[in-house]
Chain A
């Protein structure tokens, strides 16, 4: 089986004006970009809009990508800034995606769909739902670190954070996720961790 064409080659072809290379890049990353956008903006409709904007910005600024970082890191940085701009437009009072001060939604009544996830007895669905209940920033950093396997250095570049800040945010996000899972999905994640 032929090896897939690398991102670098696709970028070169796209820069040379090959539409097929642009299309392949979109198809290769549409799920990643859409998932991350959805984690930030929380609505599928808005996530489609943000994801489309991301790809357009990716094409626009592709010539500026010098390969200093991984292509995915560069792309996720675009997703983060596009989502942030989108949220600022929708709710002008949002100055940052960091909702650290926002109280957690730990009660079952705050998450009406939680019971559906429980009925399905599906840990994945419950975990997915728990991540959805996190704030934008928490869901984003959890997704980037655990699902997209971006290391802390890369997360710093994507979210424009210092190393200490990124580590603290990740730690807090994990704690909040744990709290949400304990409060809403105790059947799936029955073993409570140490206080």
Chain B
């Protein structure tokens, strides 16, 4: 059996690292029991292996972990802000508010800029004198247009809140 073993350092390392098959391991064991000089070499290999396994780890500069956490906090905040901007519900809320709240304002401005027929003949350097249309506050608050708009906006805000709660609740389960 011994004749089949061509002993080398690599084989010793493979033996020490557990890479040999059971059959090869038995052959090496038999060889080592007959050749004490190779047993000595194996002891050296095992010592070096042990030394490599117990080398001290390098220590990063003091405050390294704090710097990492600060960098992460900065990145996290930026990502959060960016995600908020990309959120479709937030966009819809903005559009709804725009439609229902800003539309009357825009309408008033447009009305103010409209010229009456006789004023079209006035010279360009004269400012047109037009009366601004006024809408009483009570009338505006009573309008179904505003009320439905507000209900829709609040419904979307609620939906967004629900979405956040569900994401928060189910995110850790992704690890399972």
A-to-B contact residues, CB < 8 Å = 8, 11-13, 15-17, 19, 22-23, 26-27, 30-32, 34-35, 38, 44, 47-48, 51-52, 55-56, 59-60, 63, 65-67, 123-124, 127-128, 131, 142, 145-147, 149, 167, 170-171, 174-175, 178, 189, 191, 193-194
The segment out of B56-64, B123-131, B133-141 that lies at the interface is B56-64
- For B53, the chain A residues whose CB sits under 8 A away are 146-147, 149
Listed residue (A63, A124, A191, A193) with the most chain B CB atoms within 10 angstroms of its CB: A193
Known: A35-B58, A66-B175, A171-B13. A27 touches B65 (CB 8 A): yes
Q: Give the contacting residue for B57; candidates A32, A124, A146; CB below 8 A.
A: A32
Asked if B144 is at the interface of the complex by the 8 Å CB criterion, the answer is no
The proximity string for B residues 137-176 relative to A, scoring 1 for CB distances below 8 Å and 0 otherwise, is: 0000000000000000000000000000000100110111
Known: A12-B172, A22-B72. A193 touches B65 (CB 8 A): no
Q: Is the CB of A55 within 8 A of B10?
A: no
Q: Is the CB of B8 within 8 A of A194?
A: yes
Sampled A-B contacts (30; CB under 8 Å): A12-B172, A15-B171, A15-B175, A16-B172, A19-B69, A22-B72, A23-B69, A26-B68, A26-B69, A30-B64, A44-B58, A44-B61, A47-B58, A51-B60, A52-B64, A55-B68, A56-B71, A66-B174, A67-B175, A124-B54, A124-B55, A127-B48, A131-B55, A146-B49, A147-B53, A174-B10, A175-B10, A191-B41, A193-B44, A194-B41
Q: Give the contacting residue for B168; candidates A16, A22, A27, A124; CB below 8 A.
A: A16
The proximity string for B residues 32-59 relative to A, scoring 1 for CB distances below 8 Å and 0 otherwise, is: 0000000001001000110111111111
- For A67, the chain B residues whose CB sits under 8 A away are 175-176
Pairs A-B, 6 closest by C-beta atoms: A146-B52, A31-B57, A34-B60, A35-B58, A12-B172, A26-B65
- For A22, the chain B residues whose CB sits under 8 A away are 69, 72
Number of interface residues of B (CB under 8 A): 39
- For B65, the chain A residues whose CB sits under 8 A away are 23, 26-27, 30
Give Cα distance in the complex from A56 to B172, angstroms.
19
- For B48, the chain A residues whose CB sits under 8 A away are 127, 189
- For A44, the chain B residues whose CB sits under 8 A away are 58, 61
Asked if B67 is at the interface of the complex by the 8 Å CB criterion, the answer is yes
- For A191, the chain B residues whose CB sits under 8 A away are 41, 44
Give Cα distance in the complex from A15 to B167, angstroms.
11
- For A66, the chain B residues whose CB sits under 8 A away are 174-175
B-to-A contact residues, CB < 8 Å = 7-10, 13-14, 17, 19, 41, 44, 48-49, 51-61, 64-65, 67-69, 71-73, 75-76, 168, 171-172, 174-176
Q: Give the contacting residue for A56; candidates B17, B68, B168; CB below 8 A.
A: B68
Interface SS majority for chain A: helix
